[in-house]
Structure 1
Amino acid sequence: MTYSRPRFAGDKSLHGVGIIGLGLMGQRFAQAAEGHPEIRVVAHYDPYAKSAVGTALATASAKDLICHPDVECVYIASPPATHLDLINQAAKAGKAIFCEKPLCTDVADAHAAVGAVEAAGVAAAVNYPHATASAALELQRIVQSGELGPNVAARLTLRFAEWPRRWQAQAGDWLRSPTEGGFVREVISHFLYLAGRLFGPGKLVERSIQWGPATEEILHCKLDFNGVELVIDGAVTGDIEDHNSLEVRGELAAATLFDWYQLHYGQTQIGEGSAPTSQLDELGLMLDGHDHRLASFEEACSVVQLVEAIVLRQTS
């Protein structure tokens, strides 16, 4: 897609970004953008936030932020239920969009979000850090090279001491809401996205799920990604430190991505704490109209379809 907009008026070498939602993800983005050679936070909006973001303008509403002339790209870091409306507003205003995952928590809404950015012709991506993290990119290279051998299969294991996680205590009630929250939407979605990048389109084959007071507590399910089986074993146990591990195994070798951004493969181990800088680098490429690695709205929509199939509550 060819994409070009006037850059931030304060510095023509920078792309001006407006953040909607100053929770953990919004704050992380703002911190990562400090000193970045291409990205500058120029405005922010959060009706509940008490702190400012550097010298960025605190707008009175999301609409004011979206319409601000210095905002070239809108970073939507608010709860999932707000995403579609904000996407529609930003797309109609001709602004580029960087949206937190999940794209939406309703399949029809996710398709509508894809349609909105396509109709407006704006650049848009979803914040799945495994799109750019070096460990995930190396895992993708290993899988696609055939080094693991034939009959590749994958297993994802996750454990949580509690849900929401303790460090999410200030995030609001939506993380424990049956319509927006739960560890499938919040955590497993990352790995479903990655599995799509590694293997191809996915579909749910079977699942067993036990519900807590509001969201899932124990999950066992099996998915098929273009002929590659992915087994997921997830639980909120209360007696173990948080852990996630994705093992991809073939007849010749195995590679394991663990604790988000650590990769073990043979004698090689790649590790990094997070991937915010690489995400911003790729966002800069997107805003310059270049090819980039960020997750597309179409990919994120496919993840929504899988996630919502997994957490669908059966009614009798």
Structure 2
Amino acid sequence: MAVALGVVGFGIMGERLLRAALAHDPDVIRPVAVWDPSPAAAARLAEIAPGLPMLESPAAVIAACDALYIASPPSSHLEHAGAAFAAGRAAFLEKPLAADLAAARAFVEAAEASGARAAVNFPMASSPAVAQLRAWREGLGAPRALTIRAEFATWPRGWQHAAAGWLAKRAEGGFTREVLSHFLFLTRRQLGKLVLLERAAAFPAGDGAETAVRARLIAGDTPVLLSGQVGGTDRDESNEWRLEAESGSIRLRDWSLAEKLDPDGTFRPSPDALPNEKMRPMVLRDQLTKLAALTKGEPQDLATLREALEVQEVVEAILGA
């Protein structure tokens, strides 16, 4: 039987996952209801999926679904996830887990103790580009150093204007939580536990999100240098995860381009490399397949609550929170 999917929070991420669910095999997962307090969100839903109801409350969506996708602002994540667990539903959360780190820690401990079915939407868990990096690593020997870099023309990015009310603020937003967290998750999966050694962050006057960060970490036994800044590029964004190993170097560039260093010093993309706008629907499809498996109690490799908490702890430490 197909897993019934409910969505709480119909901004950019809620819409992306809903579109992926609408395109998915209806025998695997089927969207059944959405909730968002915005009239504009209701209008968009009516255009995208006529007949799919915008229900009156999160509780109504939880009652209608088997698995709840939580794409609301971070301060509401734990409330919605807790309500889903209480109703016996699975929960698929956006990151960060919460706006309050202590609350996130307590939530994860309780969820693990109760055996709640939960995962966090770090799409690199289903990325073909990441799978390619993993395959290349087998022939490269021991890792020696990792560099993570992200640059933005502005923050929030242009396509995030509808969520700028919280993404632009220090309390819940910023590119370290929204973007660099993905690469820290990738690092944790590829290289091992993260330990922060040094950090620095720059903030504007007032309550605005960070404009620059730098950090030095260890992942397993591998030294990591991380940096991010607003204003470092005239593109909407630019990012790179570059691993140097005994017998060569590989990188993930601009989210989805797996590349390997040739002997001539040129990074060459994987033959099946795709730009992120083309790869994203494939990745979200596979995330949803795994969410269906999670909901049914079957094996899958989505990001766990514990992994997301470990990433959030490092992110908040980098920000000095």
Q: Is the 8 A contact 1:18 1:41 kept in 2?
A: yes
SS of the residue 1:306 aligns to: helix
SS of the residue 2:85 aligns to: helix
**Structure 1: 4+ residue segments shifted above 3 A:** none
SS of the residue 1:58 aligns to: coil
Residue matched to 1:21 = 9
Structure 2 Cα separation of the partners of residues 251 and 40 of structure 1: 46
Q: Is the 8 A contact 1:91 1:120 kept in 2?
A: no
The structure with the greater share of residues assigned to helix is 2
Q: Which amino acid aligns with 2:294?
A: M
TM-score for the superposition, normalised by structure 2: 0.88
Q: Is the 8 A contact 2:156 2:164 kept in 1?
A: no
Q: Does 1:179 align with 2:167?
A: no
TM-score for the superposition, normalised by structure 1: 0.89
Residue matched to 2:61 = 65
SS of the residue 1:57 aligns to: coil
Alignment of 1:78-227 (within 5 A): 78-143=72-137, 145=138, 147-213=139-205, 214-227=208-221
RMSD, aligned CA: 1.6
Q: Is the 8 A contact 1:76 1:83 kept in 2?
A: yes
Q: What percentage of aligned pairs have identical amino acids?
A: 35
Q: Is the 8 A contact 2:199 2:213 kept in 1?
A: yes
Structure 2 Cα separation of the partners of residues 43 and 186 of structure 1: 26
**Structure 2 unpaired stretches of 5+:** 263-267
Q: Mean alpha-carbon deviation: is it higher for 134-143 or for 78-87? A: 134-143
**Structure 1 unpaired stretches of 5+:** 1-12
Q: Is the 8 A contact 1:92 1:120 kept in 2?
A: no
| Aligned CA distance change for structure 1 residues 32 and 155 (closer, same or farther; 3 Å) | same
Q: Is the 8 A contact 2:213 2:319 kept in 1?
A: no
Alignment of 1:220-259 (within 5 A): 220-237=214-231, 239-241=233-235, 242-259=237-254
Q: Which amino acid aligns with 1:67?
A: A
**Structure 2 residue corresponding to 1:261, chosen from 244, 249, 256:** 256
SS of the residue 1:19 aligns to: strand
Q: Which amino acid aligns with 1:259?
A: D
Provide Cα deviations, 1:179-231, integer angstroms capped at 9, x if missing partner: 10000000000001110000111011101221124111111111111111111
Structure 1 Cα separation of the partners of residues 114 and 50 of structure 2: 31
Q: Is the 8 A contact 2:153 2:233 kept in 1?
A: yes
Q: Does 1:43 align with 2:33?
A: yes
Structure 1 Cα separation of the partners of residues 273 and 241 of structure 2: 14
